[in-house]
Chains A and B, each alone.
Chain A
Amino acid sequence: MSTCCRNYDEMIHLFVDGELSGRQREAFLESLRRDERLQDEVARYRRIIRTLKVFAKLKFPSDRLRKARAALVRRVSGLS
């Protein structure tokens, strides 16, 4: 890519977040086709972001979750 290192890094994040404009995206994809190091970087960031999504799928112990919900209902009932 014909940009400095800081922009290079910046472009990777914008690309993985789908925030590059049409022309920027085209140029980035062209670089991506030719540059293996860039392909690795993009793949690495995508893996990190995909891995972070697993927090949304955590299963908490159901008995403790039930207790926390019950305590919340008691607190809220005390307000109304």
Chain B
Amino acid sequence: MSSELQVAICRCKDGDTGAFKVIVRTFERRVLAIAYSILGNTEESLEVMQETFFRTFKNIARIKNEAGIARFICKVAANYSIDIKRRRHGRLISLDDEAELPASVIIQLADTRNKPDAQVERDELWRALRKAISELPDKQRMTLVLHDVDGLSKREIGQVMRCPQGTVRSNLHIARKKLKERLKEYM
């Protein structure tokens, strides 16, 4: 129990803001991935990142260990992202392309390598994927993102969302099925 992260949690409880940077460094990519997959917008994702870590610091006394902080951070990031999405009140926020995928990753998107218009198809898939996720109901979207994007287990998601694992499983399967339908021309 003396990993760098565990030490940082303990030092953070004593108000050490330097140690807090270790926590941010450890989870920043995960938080941004959760936020961007829900919101599809860079500015809002950065807002989620700030707010998530600010709330983590404020609540650090309640956090016991590495598993606890991971659950707390993922929960705040997902809930705050969904709050932002609700606050839009139907305002149209475009899915931006400011956050970029490294070229090596773009290649992995679907099996389009040998097609002449592969780049166009990959761009379309990337947009269609974000749109399909954004159209899922909140609980399905949150479950899909926490499981398939972030990699939390169904048990952990049940703890985060305060629901039985059966519900997590059902939401996940429905969400994937909807994505499969909406992306069928690309996959």
Contacts and interface: CB of A to CB of B under 8 A. Distances in A.
B100 to A, nearest CB: 5
B177 interface: yes
Given A9-B173, A47-B187, A59-B102, A53 B148 contact: yes
Contacts of B54: 72, 75-76
Interface in B144-181: 144-145, 148-150, 169, 172-173, 176-177, 179-180
Contacts of A27: none
Contact of B99 (A47, A50, A60): A60
Interface string B96-108: 0011111001001
A56 interface: yes
Given A47-B187, A58-B36, A68-B50, A13 B172 contact: yes
A45 B37 CA distance: 18
B26 to A, nearest CB: 14
A79 interface: yes
A32 to B, nearest CB: 17
Interface string B15-35: 101001100100001101110
Interface of A: 9-10, 13, 44-45, 47-61, 64-65, 68-69, 71-73, 75-77, 79-80
Interface stretch (B41-49, B64-72, B76-84): B41-49
Given A60-B32, A75-B54, A76-B17, A51 B46 contact: no
Given A54-B108, A60-B42, A44 B187 contact: yes
B183 interface: yes
B32 A51 contact: no
A12 B81 CA distance: 30
Given A57-B101, A72-B24, A75-B54, A45 B108 contact: no
Contact of B109 (A54, A76, A77): A54
Contact of B173 (A10, A47, A51, A64): A10
B108 A50 contact: yes
Given A57-B102, A80-B15, A64 B46 contact: yes
Contact of A80 (B17, B148, B177, B180): B17
A73 B42 contact: no
- List the 9 closest A-B pairs by CB distance, nearest first: A68-B46, A55-B33, A52-B148, A80-B15, A55-B37, A56-B33, A58-B99, A57-B105, A13-B173
